[in-house]
């Protein structure tokens, strides 16, 4: 059994809000006066230490009572919405900020990559920046020198290595910066959302390199990302932070799925008991709209594989009309993905019910909403029920080693043939 | 796997220590120190035509001003020394002190971005600034030696190097340590309250007038001499001139006072810097 390499015990971090000025200066004086002149303990920080005191008005707990362990060679993903304390936690483990309470114990050399290009200076050349950035990240001169050619090759800036980086394109800059960090050899690597910058190609290279580091070199990685796909592929375990507290820790797929399920902006069902309150007009009033995901396959979350059934009921207030319903699916940005028309049906006064299933493996990942329009005689609109359902489709790629954002409005699985015909072409140059 | 058996290499707690970074850890960051010094040097002369010659021009220009204004117009006596040598020695030592001090005093403020992204012993940065300034000083010092040689060869300046030459390294090192100590102390203050930054730039300018830079201590009226002598920099400047040019009013007692003051102040500042350094990142 692998040994623990990091042990986080009861870490909490309190931040003071507001600006620093005369007000905070007075508070500092008071604090100092109480502590050193009157000999009183600060009432806030020296409670019995078993319960965290409530934050005062101008304070906020960025982290509360975080406990976990990381084993040698394990990679731990840290997920959570913005402001949940992920970066603060990484900064504490990286020794950049001090916790308000608690301890972190660890073994070996830690390198943190909290941003791409730490210590880079735009005025200096690529060569000079590689060295200085390497030193800042904790490499020795010999290490940087030994890796220098590799770093330059990885970043692909051979011709520009003696040009100030201010003249680099932003892509070159980011590639060089990551290349330095990628060649660190710490025991523990801490990475914070570096994937958020750079183009798709860079992100892919970056993730690939991290996989290599974690899987073949057996290094311990702490990794914060908003890409659940990346967390799933890279990490063995995941820690879910919610508003500074630990919500869940465990195998990454389980935690990620729970996190996604909690995040999905769902409006899966709307129901009205009486027609007077229901949306509609004097011709049509909706009784119910519902989206039923078929979750058997996908562990409780809607992802690209999930078939979705839309069910709706409405009161038809007209006598004997030929009605058809259109189901329009929009992406969150408002682009229409498709507009499906039901067959026209002659309906009497009363309830009309309809159902349509969007198959799995059709939609790409993203957020969607559905609008329904009801028409008579195919072309005369009776009622348009806008944005009646909303849902998110999460990414799923299985073991596919492809990390970029998947292009396109849809991601259908269509028959696709590719084969090797075994005919050697005579290449004439 | 029992808890007691596990040996941890490091531990992070809410406590900050007065002792700061261990020497072993400092040693592992020696390349960073070298790299930063090189960076400071490169950055200063990036995209200039004259490059490192800019180390020499500002003191030379100041020298001309001083010789004309203080020497010719105001007529401050420079003892038995040629005004050029007197002023230039004062100028380069003073600019070494003031640049080192004001450079290190804004350590946290200037490097907040770096400090919030990566850990390394914070003391490395002020050390790199002092080292850069020391390097500049040594180059300017070479020029001073050339000037001395010129006066010795062609102007009949007599220098008799004696035991006082030993004061030279003492003066330089003490000045450097004092500048670093003051820089560390004020860097902690400027990190939180930017007001201090303005006080420093003003204070440094005023401090020059109670330091024998443009006048020798011997030219100060007896009654107010104690004010100048209270300044721990004064004996250092006098000792510096004495060791090089053979003229200066300094006693072992005064020099001891300077060194003790510097040692005490530096130790206190270093402890404060270590203790506060890790917390300050929350407020810069």
Show me where the domains of chain A are located. 4-11+66-263, 19-57, 269-393
CB pairs under 8 A between A and B: 117
Q: Return the sign of the alpha-carbon dihedral for residues A181, A185, A189, A195.
A: positive
**pLDDT reading at A392 higher than 50:** yes
pLDDT at A34 over 90: no
Cα-based distances in Å from B271 to A4, B21, B184: 33, 11, 9
Tell me: pLDDT of A309 over 70.
yes
Select the more confidently predicted residue: A125 or A267.
A125
Please state the ipTM of this predicted complex: 0.83
Q: Give residue-wise pLDDT tens across range A316-345.
A: 998 889 999 999 999 877 788 999 999 999
Tell me the nearest-neighbour CA distance from B37 into chain A, angstroms: 10
Per-residue confidence band for A269, with pLDDT thresholds at 50, 70 and 90: confident
The number of angstroms, rounded, from the C-alpha of A220 to the middle of its chain's C-alpha atoms is 21
Max Cα-Cα span within chain B: 82
pLDDT for res B220: 86
User: Which residues in chain B have Cβ-Cβ distances shorter than 8 Å to A138?
Assistant: 28-29, 120
- Summarised one tens digit per residue, pLDDT across range A355-390 is 999 999 999 988 888 999 999 988 888 999 988 888
Residue of B51, B118, B122, B189 to mutate when probing chain A, most A C-beta within 10 A: B118
Kindly determine whether residue B11 and residue A114, on different chains, have CB atoms separated by under 8 Å.
no
Domain boundaries, chain B: 29-41+48-282
pLDDT attached to residue B5: 55
CA distances from B245 to A142, B78, B233 (A): 44, 12, 18
- Search chain B and give the residue with CA nearest A45: B14
Count of alpha carbons within 13 angstroms of residue B40, beta-carbon side: 22
Q: What is the pLDDT of residue A308?
A: 92
Q: What pLDDT score was predicted for residue A19?
A: 63
CATH code, A4-11+66-263:
3.40.50.300
- Quote the pLDDT of residue A265: 63
B178: pLDDT strictly greater than 90:
yes
| Residue A331 to residue A337: CA distance in whole angstroms | 7
- Please count the other Cβ atoms lying within 10 Å of the Cβ belonging to residue B214: 20
Query: B110 CB near a chain A CB, below 8 Å?
Result: no
Query: Does the pLDDT at position B140 exceed 50?
Result: yes
Average pLDDT over every residue of A60-66: 89
Flag whether pLDDT at B2 surpasses 50.
no
Q: Average of pLDDT values for B201-222? A: 90
Check residue B3 and give its pLDDT: 47
Closest by alpha carbon to A78, among A228, A180, A205? A228
Residue-level pLDDT at B89: 93
* Closest by Cβ to A108, choosing from B9, B36, B39: B9
Residue of A104, A114, A132 lying closest to B117 (CB–CB): A114
Q: Given this model, what pLDDT does residue A48 score? A: 43
pLDDT value of residue A403: 66
CB contact under 8 A, A97 and B282: yes
Q: Which residues of A touch B127 (CB under 8 A)?
A: none
For residue A357, the cross-strand partners are A309
Residue A148, pLDDT > 90, answer yes
Q: Which residue of B has its CA nearest to A1?
A: B1
pLDDT band at A194 (very low <50, low <70, confident <90, very high): low
For chain A, the three-class secondary structure string (H helix, E strand, C coil) is: CCCEEEEEEEEEEEEECCCCCHHHHHHHHHHHHHHHHCCCCCCCCCCCCCCCCCCCCCEEEEEEEEEEEEECCCEEEEECCCCCCHHHHHHHHCCCCCCCEEEEEECCCEEEECCCCCCCCCCCEHHHHHHHHHHHCCCCHHHHHHHHHHHHHHHCCHHHCCCEHHHCCHHHHHHHHHHHHHCCCCCEEEEECHHHCCCHHHHHHHHHHHHHHHHCCCCEEEEECCCHHHHHHHCCEEEEEECCEEEEEEEHHHHHHHHHHHHCCCECEEECCCCCCCCECCCEEEEEEEEEECCCCCCCCCECCCCEEEEEEEEECCCCEEEEEEEEEEECCCCEEEEEECCCEEECCEEEEEEEEECCCCECCEEEEEEEEEEECCCEEEEEEEEEEEEEEECCCCCCCCCCCCCCCECCCCCCCCCCCCCCCCCCC
Helix (H, G, I), strand (E, B) or coil at B75: coil
Q: Given pLDDT bands bounded at 50, 70 and 90, which one contains residue B94?
A: very high
Domain A269-393 CATH superfamily: abc- transporter (atp binding component) like domain (2.70.50.60)
- Please give the Cα distance from A253 to A250 (Å, whole number): 8
Work out the number of other CB atoms within 10 angstroms of the CB of residue A318.
14
- The reply to whether B281 touches chain A by the CB within 8 Å rule is yes
Q: Do B14 and A101 touch (CB under 8 A)?
A: yes
- If you search the block for the tokens 């105001």, which residue do you land on? B74
The count of C-alpha atoms lying within 13 angstroms of the C-alpha of B185, restricted to the half-sphere facing its C-beta, is 15
Q: What is the mean pLDDT of residues B2-24?
A: 73
* Residue B183 confidence (pLDDT): 95
Q: What is the mean pLDDT of residues B206-220?
A: 89
Mean pLDDT of the region A151-174: 87
Query: Predicted confidence band at A90 (pLDDT cuts at 50, 70, 90)?
Result: very high
Q: Which residues of A touch B21 (CB under 8 A)?
A: none
pLDDT range class, residue B79, cuts 50, 70, 90: confident
What is the arithmetic mean of pLDDT over B211-227?
88
Over residues B158-175, mean pLDDT: 85
Q: Residue B192's pLDDT band (boundaries 50, 70, 90)?
A: confident
Residues 12-31 of A with CB under 8 A from B: 15-16, 20, 25, 28
């Amino acid at each position: 059994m692998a040994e623990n390499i990091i042990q986080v015990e009861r870490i909490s971090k309190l931040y003071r809000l507001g600006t620093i000025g005369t007000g905070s200066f007075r508070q500092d004086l008071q604090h100092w006066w109480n502590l050193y002149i009157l000999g009183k303990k600060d009432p806030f920080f020296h409670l019995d230490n078993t319960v965290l005191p409530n934050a005062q008005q101008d304070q906020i707990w960025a982290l509360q009572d975080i406990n976990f362990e990381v084993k040698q060679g394990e990679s731990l993903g840290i997920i959570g919405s913005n402001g949940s304390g992920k970066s603060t936690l990484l900064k504490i483990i990286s020794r950049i900020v001090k916790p308000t309470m608690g301890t972190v114990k660890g073994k070996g050399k830690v390198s943190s990559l909290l941003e791409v290009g730490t210590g880079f200076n735009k005025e200096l050349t690529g060569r000079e920046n590689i060295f200085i950035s390497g030193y800042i990240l904790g490499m020795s001169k010999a290490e940087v020198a030994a890796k220098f050619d590799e770093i330059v090759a990885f970043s692909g800036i051979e011709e520009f290595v003696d040009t100030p980086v201010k003249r680099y394109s932003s892509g070159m800059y980011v590639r060089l910066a990551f290349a330095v960090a990628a060649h660190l050899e710490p025991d523990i690597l801490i990475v914070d959302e570096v994937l958020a910058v750079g183009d798709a190609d860079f992100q892919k290279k970056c993730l690939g390199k991290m996989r290599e580091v974690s899987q073949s070199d057996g290094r311990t990685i702490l990794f914060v990302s908003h890409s659940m796909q990346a967390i799933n592929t890279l990490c063995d375990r995941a820690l879910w932070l919610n508003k500074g507290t630990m919500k869940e820790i465990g195998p990454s797929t389980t935690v990620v799925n729970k996190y996604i399920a909690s995040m999905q902006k769902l409006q899966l069902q709307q129901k009205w008991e009486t027609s007077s309150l229901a949306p509609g007009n004097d011709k049509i009033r909706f009784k119910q709209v519902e989206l039923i995901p078929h979750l058997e396959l996908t562990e409780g979350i809607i992802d690209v594989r999930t078939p979705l059934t839309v069910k709706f009921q409405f009161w038809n207030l007209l006598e004997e009309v030929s009605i058809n319903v259109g189901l329009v699916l929009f992406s969150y940005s408002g682009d229409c993905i498709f507009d499906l028309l039901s067959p026209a049906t002659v309906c009497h006064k009363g309830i009309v019910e309809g159902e349509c299933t969007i198959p799995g493996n059709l939609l790409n990942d993203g957020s969607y909403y559905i609008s329904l329009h009801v028409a008579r005689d195919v072309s005369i609109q009776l009622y348009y029920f806008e944005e009646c359902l909303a849902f998110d489709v999460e990414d799923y790629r299985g073991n596919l080693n492809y990390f970029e954002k998947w292009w396109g409005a849809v991601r259908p699985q269509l028959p696709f043939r590719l084969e090797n015909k075994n005919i050697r072409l005579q290449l004439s140059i | 796997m029992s808890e007691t058996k596990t040996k941890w290499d490091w531990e992070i707690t809410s406590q900050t220590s007065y002792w700061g970074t261990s020497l072993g850890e400092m040693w592992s960051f020696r390349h960073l120190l070298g790299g930063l010094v090189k960076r400071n040097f490169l950055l200063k002369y990036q995209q200039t035509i004259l490059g490192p010659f800019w180390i020499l021009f500002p003191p030379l220009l100041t020298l001309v001003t001083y010789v004309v204004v203080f020497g010719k117009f105001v007529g401050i006596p420079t003892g038995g020394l040629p005004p050029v040598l007197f002023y230039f020695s004062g100028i380069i030592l003073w600019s070494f002190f003031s640049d080192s001090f004001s450079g290190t005093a804004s350590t946290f403020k200037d490097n907040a971005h770096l400090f919030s992204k990566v850990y390394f012993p914070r003391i490395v940065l002020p050390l790199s600034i002092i080292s850069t300034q020391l390097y500049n000083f040594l180059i300017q010092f070479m020029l001073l030696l050339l000037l001395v040689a010129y006066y010795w060869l062609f102007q009949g300046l007599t220098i008799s190097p004696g035991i006082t030459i030993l004061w030279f390294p003492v003066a330089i090192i003490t000045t450097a340590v004092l500048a670093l100590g003051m820089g560390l102390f004020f860097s902690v203050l400027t990190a939180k309250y930017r007001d201090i930054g303005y006080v420093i730039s003003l204070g440094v300018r005023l401090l020059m007038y109670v330091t024998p830079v443009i006048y020798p201590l011997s030219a100060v009226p007896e009654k107010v001499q104690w004010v100048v002598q209270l300044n721990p920099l004064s004996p250092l400047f006098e000792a510096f001139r004495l060791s090089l040019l053979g003229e200066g009013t300094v006693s072992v007692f005064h020099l001891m006072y300077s060194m003790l003051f510097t040692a005490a102040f530096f130790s206190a500042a270093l402890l404060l810097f270590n203790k506060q350094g890790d917390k300050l990142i929350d407020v810069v």
